[in-house]
Structure 1
């Protein structure tokens, strides 16, 4: 027998194409996160809950649009639509956020992600952007359906349609974006704390729902200042307080008094704190 080695040509070739870098990785993570939010590319079981929520919000928008078209009755405007759907959005992010964060932790793929030209800020940014987009689409598309119905039923021609678009739909979309940013940042932060999706989902629901009774207690206190500041105790009433402040005291069952700017400051600080903590969490993971 010969001791000489044998070289086998297995067809290996060096990659000579373009190196796409961080931007391409960010885009791939964003696209994957957005698809995962609605169960696309996954099993039927993963699609049931997201599309059930989609069906419900679309049905509510169609009913509202039909009532406006047939009976000239507006069940709720673009802002009230967000407030009405907020409970559904809580359960939506409680299911989706663990899917985006906890699954990667449980599968142990984070070291693989961060071995590539990907920074912790890229990973966090892609996940946050994908969930913000998903929640915004969930609220914004039904609002657009409501607008289309109004556009065909309004008297007054193009000027009324433009007034509806500029004066009602665009502010409604801005309000939806505020909901999306707050819900996404908080839910992803909670989901990042555990690799168990059931625990993450329970934590997200608990965070949003357990703060609501605090608001109810504060609103019945004899102090007028305590009543005006009661909405600060819950993320949902906090956003409503921001809306009331920006819309010059629209009556939504919550009185913010002269403390409107405080609601705006807290909303900004809450989102900023959640994002910074989320970034710090994954910078620590990337450094391991």
Structure 2
């Protein structure tokens, strides 16, 4: 007695719609990452920290704008605002980077991403662009509020508004520099583990451990060591570039002397190194 096979028609059909390709996949991944940065599409618990940080920074910006409109005194410039908010940015990056990177490692979705047509470079670009945008918005929107407060209360008319624009644009560029460097460092560390708590702790540790090194070098008798001390910490590295571009020290502790171009070169090299290491990391994953 022979056994006969039976084929059941359960309605599966071939996909006949439009295939959007790599560009659409990259855009979708970028949008998803940007939404995740502020908790959209996630639980209410996931929204607490990013919006708490954003709320604090917006409140500070409103206070600065109100003080300037009432007494005409500039407490923080747009560049100084970034420097004063640096620790909030560190904690924001420490929470966001693991969300963008570590969750995919833990859930095992990377093989699905890299099956086709998304490539490792596309994945890194989308995640990095989403993080840079989120950090820049966190700094840029409060700066815009400060600008509006100054522009609508200026006594110099159109010239006063134009002067504020000339101050705001470099401030936005400075915010972009913060976003580029901190995002690269944060994503690289987060890509090394699937546990978000470990990734967040590692990111904060990098900044905490480099800051005391700067403090030690600033008390050395050598003028050269003092002026190059800012190269040891990401925060003082960016502050040094800001001091170089504005032709003045950001604070009394940071004196970069003639080493401004060195600060800029290190920042570019550090950002590039983070991206190349990220690309190498995910090319290895994609090849598995």
TM-score range, shorter chain: over 0.9
Deviations 1:172-197, CA, capped at 9 Å, x for gaps: 00000000000100000000011111
RMSD: 1.5
| Mapped pair 1:195 → 2:194 | yes
Match in the other structure for 1:154 = 154
CA contact (8 A) 2:147 2:164 kept: yes
Which residue is 1:286 aligned to? 286
1:172 aligns with 2:175: no
CA offsets, 1:197-231, max 9 Å, x none? 11100000000121011101101100000000000
For the residue of structure 1 that corresponds to 2:85, the secondary structure is: helix
SS at structure 2 position matched to 1:18: coil
Q: How many angstroms apart in 2 are the aligned matches of 1:48 and 1:74? A: 31
Q: Which residue of 1 aligns with 2:265?
A: 265
Aligned to 1:106: 106
1:116, distance to aligned residue in structure 2 (A): 1.6
Task: Tell me the equivalent position of 1:77.
Answer: 77
- The answer to whether the 8 A contact 2:80-2:250 is kept is no
Aligned to 1:38: 38
Q: 1:70: Cα distance to partner?
A: 1.1
**How far apart are the structure 2 equivalents of 1:6 and 1:202?**
57
Cα shift readout 1:103-148 (whole Å, capped 9, x = no counterpart): 0000011111111201100000100000000000000000000001
Segments of 5+ residues of structure 2 without an aligned counterpart are none
Deviation at 1:156, TM superposition (A): 1.6
The normalised TM-score by structure 1 is: 0.96
Distance 2:153 2:9 in 1: 71
Question: Deviation digits for residues 235-287 of structure 1, max 9, x if unmatched?
Answer: 00000001111112244221100111100000000111111011100001001
TM-score norm. by structure 2 comes to 0.96
CA distance in 1 between counterparts of 2:8 and 2:285 reads: 41
The superposition leaves residues 139-162 of structure 1 with CA deviations (integer Å, 9 ceiling, x where unpaired) of: 000000000111111112112101
